[in-house]
Amino acid sequence: MLKPEDLIAANPGLSVETFLIGKTIRIPFFQSQADFIPYEKQTQNVTHQVKRGETLYSISKAYDVSVEDIEKANPMLGSGLKTNMKLIVPVKVTSLDENVRTREIEANRLLRPSNETQRTDVIRVGLLLPFLDKTSGQHLRLQEYYEGFLLAVNRMKKDGANIEVYVFEIGSRAKLESLLGTMEMEDLHLLIGGMTDDQIKILSDFTKRHNIKYIIPFSSKNSEVQNNNNIFQVNSPQSYLYSKASRVFMEIFRNANVVIVNVSGYSDKAEFLSTLKSDLKRKNVRYNEISLTSNFSTDILPLLQNNVENVIIPSTGDSGALREITNALDKVHQAHQGINTRLFGYPEWQTYNPEIKKALHQYGTYFYTSFYVDEQDIETSKFIENFKFWYGRELINTYPKYGLFGYDTGIFFLNAVHRFGTNFEQRINRIPSNSLQFAFNFERVNNWGGFINTGLYLIHYDVNNAVYKINKSR
């Protein structure tokens, strides 16, 4: 018989809040040699003592069973019904069940997460990465990630956390599998690492067996998170970003005149634009499309409006196409100064040269991204200075910056265990996210899977050369 405990075990993400109409859940199947009897046909025997004046008919009506069923269960009725005789009555479970409400209360109790915090005196963390892989300078980036993580450990120790860090090179499959056989690995509370699908699969299976929280920092395309409730995938899949970025666009520009500029030969933003167009149509927001040609500055004029904000969205994040569009818009504004235009775009725009960024400011540009470094921020400046003090060099000029990546990841998850114990996932939305570069907002992918980071920033380059980093994660 399937019990509420079986459903909870098969769906770790189930709670009172998520157990909703239309929700997909897993139903565990238990192999049995017994014949399956539909619930509505199941019976349970009760004993009835015959009272004076009762008949088989009146007893059958009282229990909603047939006279024939009572006679089959009581062969002694062949000699007639007598007062004080004890009968077995096969009552339908659906009619009988006096304990339904009790069981419902117990099931709801199981759906409510325990408030008990599983605290640990020492937080044991394993960092498992291919530190010696020199492909495209990967070893330097991973070293910087580790160094940033150590600065997070140092910060958390100042806040009273007791932390042990175990760092391992996992270049080969044999080395990784051998490493996972050690006692130190089985006692971890957090495991961070894995680069390839093969490494992530091995680490996922291990953390699933030993109930260890597993943070996947870099991969955004691995499917292990779908079936391992211990996984936290930090790098957001593009589809999640597109969905949230489109929602944010609809919030901010719902009253704007939207113009999509299609650039021939590029399809890098096709999925995002498909999502955005669907949302625009669903909300009955009109939009126009135009191709980027040599006559763009004149072709776009009929699509622009004087009395509203015009938002221009290129169909690619390419810098050359962006430069062509801003040059054409310069001509438009020289001839029609009353027109108000903005650009909306993509994460890679933060990487472009000062000349392009100047143009982005000129048009009050917005773009979405899951990471952004505001070097004017006080805490970020302190980290950069501290990194240089400890390691004697600047952060590598990459997007994202790996030192900050390691620091943000460390602060978030070490803080989670320090504050809420090893079952911190029950309070995932209460974990402070004072990250310097990455937006963090972890959502469970399904009732039996893990968590994916859906954090999102909206970056605004305003016309006064100021930059605003707006957290739109929730």
Give tens-digit pLDDT for 59-115.
988 888 998 999 899 988 888 888 889 999 998 766 545 455 555 555 555 555 555
397 in a structural domain: no
Q: Which of 166, 171, 165, 164 is nearest to 139 (CA)?
A: 171
344 and 383 part of one domain? no
The residue segments making up the domain with residue 214 are: 123-235+379-390+407-424
3-state SS assignment for residue 183? helix
How many other β-carbons are positioned within 10 Å of the β-carbon of residue 109? 11
34 in a structural domain: yes
356 and 384 part of one domain? no
Q: Residue 448 — φ and ψ, nearest 5°?
A: -115, 0
Q: Return the ∠ at Cα 244 (arms to 242 and 247), rounded to 5°.
A: 110
Taking the C-alpha atoms of residue 343 and residue 307, their distance in angstroms, rounded to an integer, is 17
26 and 102 part of one domain? yes
**Structurally, how many domains does the chain consist of?**
3
CATH at 200: 3.40.50.2300
Which of the four pLDDT bands, split at 50, 70 and 90, describes residue 129? Answer: very high
Give tens-digit pLDDT for 139-197.
999 999 999 999 999 999 999 999 999 999 998 898 899 999 888 899 999 999 999 99
Q: Inform me whether the pLDDT recorded for 123 exceeds 60.
A: yes
56 and 158 part of one domain? no
Residues 135, 141, 145, 146: is their CA dihedral positive or negative?
positive
- Please tell me the predicted confidence (pLDDT) of residue 447: 87
261 and 226 part of one domain? no
Taking the C-alpha atoms of residue 269 and residue 344, their distance in angstroms, rounded to an integer, is 12
Taking the C-alpha atoms of residue 94 and residue 77, their distance in angstroms, rounded to an integer, is 26
What stretch of H or E contains 382?
helix 378-391
Q: For residue 197, what are the contacts with CB-CB under 8 A and spacing of at least 6?
A: 219, 222
Q: For residue 288, what are the contacts with CB-CB under 8 A and spacing of at least 6?
A: 257, 258, 259, 260, 303
19 in a structural domain: yes
Report percent pLDDT > 90 for the chain: 72
354 and 247 part of one domain? yes
Which of the four pLDDT bands, split at 50, 70 and 90, describes residue 17? Answer: very low
* E runs forming strands in 278-324: 287-291, 310-314
Task: Indicate yes or no: pTM above 0.75.
Answer: yes
The type of residue at 471 is N
38 in a structural domain: yes
81 and 127 part of one domain? no
3-state helix, strand, coil in the chain (%, to 5): 45, 20, 40
Q: Inform me whether the pLDDT recorded for 283 exceeds 70.
A: yes
213 and 296 part of one domain? no
163 in a structural domain: yes
Domain stops at, among 111, 132, 147? 111
Residues 67, 68, 74, 80: is their CA dihedral positive or negative?
positive
The position carrying tokens 């990546």 is: 405
Across the strands, what pairs with 470?
A: 458
CA distances from 408 to 279, 377, 405, 411 (A): 32, 15, 5, 5
Taking the C-alpha atoms of residue 294 and residue 290, their distance in angstroms, rounded to an integer, is 12
- Please tell me the predicted confidence (pLDDT) of residue 206: 96
214 and 134 part of one domain? yes
Give tens-digit pLDDT for 222-243.
899 999 999 999 999 999 999 9
- Please tell me the predicted confidence (pLDDT) of residue 440: 97
247 and 360 part of one domain? yes
Give tens-digit pLDDT for 356-401.
999 999 999 999 999 999 989 999 999 999 999 999 999 999 999 9
430 in a structural domain: no
